[in-house]
Amino acid sequence: MFPSSHATIGTKGRQKEIPPDKFRTEFQRDIHRIIYSQSFRRLRHKTQVFYFPQNDHVSTRMDHVLFVASAARTVARCLGLNEDLAEAIGLAHDIGHAPFGHQGEKFLKEEIIHKNETLTKTMQGFSHEIYGLRVVDKIAKRDREEPGLNLTWEVRDGIISHCGEDFTTCKLIPGSKDKNLCEIKNREDAGYPATLEGCIVRLIDKVAYCGKDIEDAIAAEVIKESDVPVKINEKLGKTNGKIIGSFLESIIKESHNKDYIAMSREYGDLLHSLIDFNDSNIYHSDESERYGKQARQSVRLLFADLKEVYLKTDKFQDFEKDNKTPCVHKIFAEYVEDMRGIYEKSDPDELVVLDFIAGMTDSFVVRSFQELFIPQATV
């Protein structure tokens, strides 16, 4: 049935027990639960660096998680670890991202959470890895099935623990397997992933985006190829494929037969230099931040409007739609109906609105804003 090397790999289990599968390992089942979820599919229209790119060759958040999952599986195979677990964590690690990428996280924190006392008591801020666990546990749906993906503990741990580096760290030692994942509220409490596979994803996450972001910035004419530091080109290579390959080779070499995941200090310093270059020349460039003010305003005004309609209709109990009803209100009403029974009585109304907005794609935010706040022809 299963290959013997996979049959012996166990899990701490799921929040809800389910019968074993005839053909798939538990982590293979998680892969399928993730990729068939609506939350995962929406990543194709969420920002990686540049807002909803129209250039098909510039990465979205979907592209990034596929790159990470593929590279993580390769490293796991070379180290004799669980490829399925590494792939599942890689696919789901960014499932909690808001629209407009990391700037979107900032907008949700500053314009919604910190301006609503009830939300501030519920959430310390908005971190996509902390929120990612909420998404897979409570919100993500596989089409007409009940919300929540009911993933294994190891994948859930990999999601909530996948970031927080200072970019100088070259060695990741797995953290505790006794964490209560549902009680984690910040990165410090999450610590390192409890599995070597989770540590692989955490390290490769940085490797996968830094080289590809350079390719995207060149395609977007934010930087020129000649802007990339000579040291980077000489040591790592001039293309994203060579950059990733160089880092993966170091990770495999330094981690072989070890109880930790690492890269050499030389390559750790190169990664740090590469991310510093990107930070100065790409992530805070005029092009990547050009519409930040408008995106912030969109999030703020959408929250106010959706909260108003949610309360005015008694949480859509008194909601009557017709052909003049804004599409975003109809979809929000469908979301609330889908989630009945998911929210606790103690959950503030603002949390429902926040969850809906956080799940939006960049393009849906823009369409909704235009529908609600841009005058339309009436005749």
Mind giving me the DSSP string for 8-34?
Answer: T---S-BSS--PPPSS--HHHHHHHHH
Closest CA to 220 of 48, 45, 360: 48
- 168: three-class secondary structure by DSSP: coil
- 152: three-class secondary structure by DSSP: strand
pLDDT at position 52, please?
Answer: 66
pLDDT at position 4, please?
Answer: 38
Cα 158 to Cα 161: distance, rounded to the nearest angstrom:
5
What totals of helices (H) and strands (E) does the chain contain, helices first?
19, 2
pLDDT at position 133, please?
Answer: 98
Given a contact cutoff of 8 angstroms between Cβ atoms, the answer to whether 95 and 159 are in contact is yes
Give all domains of the chain, ordered by start, each with its CATH number.
Answer: 4-95+140-289 (1.10.3210.10), 292-373 (no CATH)
pLDDT at position 362, please?
Answer: 95
Mean pLDDT for each 10-residue chunk of the chain (379 residues)?
A: 46 94 95 98 90 77 96 98 98 97 94 94 93 98 95 98 82 95 93 97 93 89 92 91 95 97 95 92 84 93 98 95 93 96 93 98 96 85
